Structure 1
Amino acid sequence: FFRKMGYEVSAVLPDSSPAFLEWMKGVEDILIFEKEPELIEYKFSEADLIFALDFNDPSRLKGMEIWYERSGATKVLIDHHPEPKKFSDITISDVSVSSTCELLYEFMKSVGGADIIDKEIATSLFVGIMTDTGCFSFNSSDPETYVRVAELLSYGINKDEIFNLVYDNYSDNRMRLLGYVLKEKMEVIPEYNTAFISITMDELKRYSFVMGDTEGFVNYPLSIRCIRFSALFIEKPDHVKISFRSKGTFPTNLFSKKHFNGGGHLNASGGELYSNMEETLKLFRSLLPGYAKELK
């Protein structure tokens, strides 16, 4: 979008994009902090304008926050997560919208006009809305969301092809990993309407894990009758990465923020704990009795 307006643009991420998004135009140009930290530091130092997209806390930059904070560029936050911290000069935040891409669409129309948006840009925005709502299964009850999606479709994007490229584009190893964790690693705690999955680094290695292979795993336990709260624990070298999902009014974001250094949305959030898997699961189990009433 900004390149079409004549600007020099760099996109940076803390770590690699999921493999199922590699087909998208421009992914090959994204700079990854894990691979090119010096170049990214230079980009921050030379920038006149920095957009922070789809996160509400600079700690989410995972090592890049020091360069973000040192940069003299004007900083603009565009996000839909609740309670954004003050770390930008301009904040565009709306928790009522489905996704940051929905906000971006309105921003693009107001800044450059709808004529600058083309099929490729519309495709990227649609992917963002589709994936952030679980194919419109949550955070997507506002009619305005579907008005905007209809407008994006008018640019000639292929909705069916996009769905297939995102959701029907996994490896056989990913499917075998999913089968393994559902059979062997899912624990159901019916007295608290809760279920969780834990995956170790050795198990990921066994199934030739690539980034994105565990995407969506946390949602599967919610398909079980009466399960209202689901968690996914993934072992990392020095911590455990955690995803939470819920049905109804159980606030996963508050649970994650209070106990697991995280946050997010009411029904979808994440966190992490700098501990081993055994201690992390022990803590998680010990917390559930305190939420028994909310999980009924």
Structure 2
Amino acid sequence: MQNNIIKELKNRIELSEKPLIITHYNPDGDAIGSILAFYHYLVKKGKNPFMVSPNDYPEFLHWMPGNENVTVYKRNTGTVTNAIRDADLIIALDFNNFERTEGLEKYLNESKAVKVMIDHHPDPSDFADIAISDIQYSSTAEMVYHVIESLGDEDLIDKNIAECIYCGIMTDTGSFNYNSSNPYTYLVVSKLVGFGIDKDRIYWNVYDNFSADRMRLLGYCLHKKMEVFPEYHAAIISITKDELKEFNFAPGDSEGFVNLPLSIKNIRFTAIFIERDKQIKISFRSKGNFSVNKFAEENFNGGGHKNASGGYSYVSLDETLKKFRELLPKYQTELQNAL
């Protein structure tokens, strides 16, 4: 990280009286872990930060220390818009375009606050006065650790901060199964363990904390809704709105579903399509050199990382699935040579 950027960030934090921390719509473990870690850090710096999540997030992330201090925009619209208006420092974590906040971009763009971006996704927009953007990191949470370290405040990291950072790294790497080949990631993890975190308990809190309905939905999807395309080394799962209702779907219930078909022999590319009221939410995963980031950008209004990405479709679920199936022959050679 460039010294001049870190120096400017340090100065802005010291001067700030009303810092605000925000993450993206539909936040995941990395997003929530990152904002909570930075929240605890700013509190230890003597600040009173205001945390924002654009919408609700999975209950299996609510265990993290400080969760009760996150304000959800969808349930507190006036409070959040006033906080954005009054903020003198806005720290955007785990996203690089205000459009990712889905409804707050107008208020964020109009804010006179100094804007900071800390993010590991490609193709950042230019909204930030201070931009720390690097796709080489496993997660934004890992970046948060490095930022605090670079600010000379590693001594302020405690067990609470370490737990939040570890959760972010763990979830954004699929428990270190992808996007986690940088030795620095494991150096950070070793330091986090040194703060006394219980990594097994963190895993249980996230991955062994689902409802019976979610388990039934998983079984149904694997048995009834998975399609395998062996000639293209691909597999998909699709879920309709009616099926979500039938299984009492709650935010986060489909977490990890998209990864499961990758365990089928010779499958290198997977996707899950979930029908919402106004759109189809899509997640993509891959092995090897097949870039789902590129695939999502080219075909499904999305993006992300090489092996883990997302997108949206604004036509019906049937039309979306038809489009996906028709695209597969175009990528057959890439998929055959992915490993």
Distance 1:210 1:26 in 2: 22
The answer to whether residue 131 in structure 2 is matched with residue 88 in structure 1 is: no
Instruction: Tell me which amino acid in the other structure corresponds to 1:254.
Output: K
- 1:94-144 alpha-carbon deviations (Å, 9 max, x no partner): 111111111100111233512211101110000001111111111111111
- Most deviating of 215-224 and 280-289: 280-289
Aligned-residue offset at 1:190: 1.2
Higher helix share: 2
Helix, strand or coil at the partner of 1:136: coil
In the alignment, structure 2 segments of 5+ residues that lack a partner are 1-40
Distance 1:198 1:131 in 2: 22
Distance 2:109 2:119 in 1: 18
- The residue that corresponds to 1:17 in the other structure is 57
The answer to whether residue 270 in structure 2 is matched with residue 230 in structure 1 is: yes
Instruction: Tell me which amino acid in the other structure corresponds to 1:129.
Output: I
- The residue that corresponds to 1:77 in the other structure is 117
- The residue that corresponds to 1:294 in the other structure is 334
The answer to whether residue 282 in structure 2 is matched with residue 207 in structure 1 is: no
In the alignment, structure 1 segments of 5+ residues that lack a partner are none
Aligned-residue offset at 1:39: 1.2
Instruction: Tell me which amino acid in the other structure corresponds to 1:121.
Output: I
Instruction: Tell me which amino acid in the other structure corresponds to 2:327.
Output: L
Aligned residue among 26, 29, 33 for 2:73: 33
The answer to whether residue 96 in structure 2 is matched with residue 56 in structure 1 is: yes
Aligned residue among 150, 159, 164 for 2:204: 164
Instruction: Tell me which amino acid in the other structure corresponds to 1:23.
Output: W
What does residue range 123-134 of structure 1 map to in structure 2 within 5 Å?
123-134=163-174
Helix, strand or coil at the partner of 2:132: strand
- 1:155-175 alpha-carbon deviations (Å, 9 max, x no partner): 111111111111111111111
What does residue range 200-279 of structure 1 map to in structure 2 within 5 Å?
200-279=240-319
The answer to whether residue 192 in structure 2 is matched with residue 152 in structure 1 is: yes
- The residue that corresponds to 2:236 in the other structure is 196
- 1:70-92 alpha-carbon deviations (Å, 9 max, x no partner): 11111111011112121111110
Number of aligned positions between the proteins: 296
Aligned-residue offset at 1:202: 1.2
- 1:188-223 alpha-carbon deviations (Å, 9 max, x no partner): 111111110001111111111111110000001111
State the percentage of identical aligned residues.
53
Helix, strand or coil at the partner of 1:271: strand
- The residue that corresponds to 2:107 in the other structure is 67
Instruction: Tell me which amino acid in the other structure corresponds to 2:254.
Output: T
Aligned residue among 88, 103, 121 for 2:161: 121
Helix, strand or coil at the partner of 1:92: strand
Alpha-carbon RMSD: 1.0
The answer to whether residue 201 in structure 2 is matched with residue 179 in structure 1 is: no
Distance 1:112 1:23 in 2: 28
Helix, strand or coil at the partner of 1:295: helix
- Most deviating of 234-243 and 27-36: 27-36
- The residue that corresponds to 1:284 in the other structure is 324
Distance 2:181 2:248 in 1: 38
Distance 1:290 1:49 in 2: 46
Aligned residue among 150, 158, 161 for 1:110: 150
Distance 2:60 2:152 in 1: 30
- 1:233-274 alpha-carbon deviations (Å, 9 max, x no partner): 001001000000001111100110111111000000001111
Distance 1:210 1:23 in 2: 17
Distance 2:43 2:282 in 1: 36
Aligned residue among 95, 113, 135 for 2:175: 135
Deviating 4+ runs (over 3 angstroms): none
Distance 2:138 2:186 in 1: 10
